[in-house]
Amino acid sequence: MRKLRSLFAALLLCGALPLAQAQDALRSSTMLSSNPSAAAPVVLPAESAPVGQNITRVADDSPTIPFIDLTTPPDDLWQRVRNGFSMQNLSGPLVTQRQAWYLNHPDALKHTLERSRRYLFHIVTELEKRGMPTELALLPFVESSFNPLAYSPARAHGMWQFIPSTGKTYNLQQNWWLDQRRDIVASTSAALDYLQHIYDMHGDWHLALASYNWGEGAVGRAVAKNERLGLPTDYMSLKVPQETRYYVPALQALKNIIAEPQLFGINLDPIPNLPYFGLVERDGPMDVAIAARLAEIPVAEFVALNPAYSRPRMPDVDNSSLVLPAAKVQTYLSNLQLHTAQSKPLSAWNIYQLKSGEKLDTVAKRYKISGIQLRQFNGITKKTKVGPGLSLLVPGPDALLAHNALSVQLPQTPAAPPKAKKMRGKASGVSTKSKNRKATGTTKSSAKPSGKAVKHGKAKVLPR
């Protein structure tokens, strides 16, 4: 049986065997190997035949149809993903090529699948709430390798790779303190809103995916051109850029691998069909390092679940929630209660205004950090206007730093630091609608999409 699977995988890689035929062949061989006698009818004696009558029972040799119980939630989240597959399948050389690429890069495939464990349950749950196909849960694999700190040359950020304009259209805050294009909950809600919108526009998920990559306006024009020429308007018939041409086949290749991992020689580790994280309401500013300590998790894990924050201090923003491992929510709440009972501060970072003639390195030395760290913590680049009155975030004497560790964990978002008078209270540049939107909400955005592509170019990873 193992040899047969290896043969099927080799034939799939070279494109000599279509996936559907490989699936049928594997199921047939599995039934034959588990029941060698099933190849021919078997005559069995009757269990209670009347005396004097020669009555026999003939065993049914028809293939067994696999039965999937959709009424009982599966223990493995991957099976839940498979159960929700509903997009029309693509086939052809492009899909075969992408399958080969994934299988020829097993380490990248393994690391991305491992990274997805944090986020997949939430994404699948949100898709099911909306009645959307669960193939879309694999889209962050194509977009960012499930890395919420990924970015592209077109300034697309996050797991779903929103560019700034589309992020603003879908009410994702982008300011000095945070960038919700990296927020796990907010960006997922926005991405599904956008995907549903472009599906409603085209009535076809393949065209919706092409729009997500290339822009709904560009896809609409390509469809209109084919209509004028009397040509088919399906995804494979459109003239699209090379990146978009490979985009949907890449998702189909992943779908094939997840659907039948044994065909490709992949050992797909099960993921518990349980929430990986929970949300905890936060009131007032808090340091990243303190929040991680209260939850008793490494800063790296905290940032992986709360990647939107760009500074060591999280701002005082209405309706903001912390994302914590489900097993650590109660730990955090208990430690927070003890922490506040002892009148300990939740933030040890202060606002400092640069004085006339004062240099950044002088300020850094005073607060016992390097000039590089001061610039990183405050998003200061060569383009930043440094002068009197510039507000800086600096560590107080009780700051839980591990300076070197924290400075490389936080995503670097270059921006002009806000003035001191705007640092207190609500973050600048936030609309009322955005401030009042709950982090777990899935309300469809009423704003009109910008018509620009979500992403162009290959995503990169922010320094860690």
Q: What CA–CA distance (Å, rounded) separates 127 from 145? A: 19
9 Cβ partners below 8 Å, 6+ apart? Answer: 103, 263, 264, 265
Which structure tokens are listed for 84?
A: 């929700």
Which DSSP helix (H) or strand (E) runs through 376?
A: helix 371-378
Q: Which of 256, 284, 217 is nearest to 17 (CA)?
A: 256
Q: What CA–CA distance (Å, rounded) separates 137 from 150? A: 17
Active site includes 358? no
- Interaxial angle between packed helices 106-116 and 93-103, expressed in degrees from 0 to 180 and rounded to the nearest 10: 90
Q: Which of 249, 339, 250 is nearest to 291 (CA)?
A: 339
**Are 303 and 264 in contact, with CB atoms under 8 Å apart?**
no
Structure letter (DSSP) for residue 309:
B
Q: How many residues does the chain have?
A: 464
- In the Cβ-directed half-sphere of 343, how many Cα atoms lie within 13 Å? 0
**Are 75 and 273 in contact, with CB atoms under 8 Å apart?**
yes
**Are 451 and 165 in contact, with CB atoms under 8 Å apart?**
no
Q: What CA–CA distance (Å, rounded) separates 111 from 132? A: 26
Q: Which of 152, 87, 155, 78 is nearest to 116 (CA)?
A: 78
Q: What CA–CA distance (Å, rounded) separates 312 from 314? A: 7
- In the Cβ-directed half-sphere of 372, how many Cα atoms lie within 13 Å? 5
DSSP codes joined into one string, 99-115: HHHHHT-HHHHHHHHHH
Which structure tokens are listed for 239?
A: 């003239």
Structure letter (DSSP) for residue 351:
E
Which structure tokens are listed for 310?
A: 């760009």
**Are 12 and 96 in contact, with CB atoms under 8 Å apart?**
yes
Which structure tokens are listed for 184?
A: 């796990």
Structure letter (DSSP) for residue 58:
E
**Are 450 and 166 in contact, with CB atoms under 8 Å apart?**
yes
**Are 143 and 455 in contact, with CB atoms under 8 Å apart?**
yes
Q: Which residues pair with 323 in a beta bridge?
A: 279
Which structure tokens are listed for 407?
A: 């400075």
Catalytic-labelled residue, pool 135, 143, 216, 260: 143
Residues designated catalytic: 143
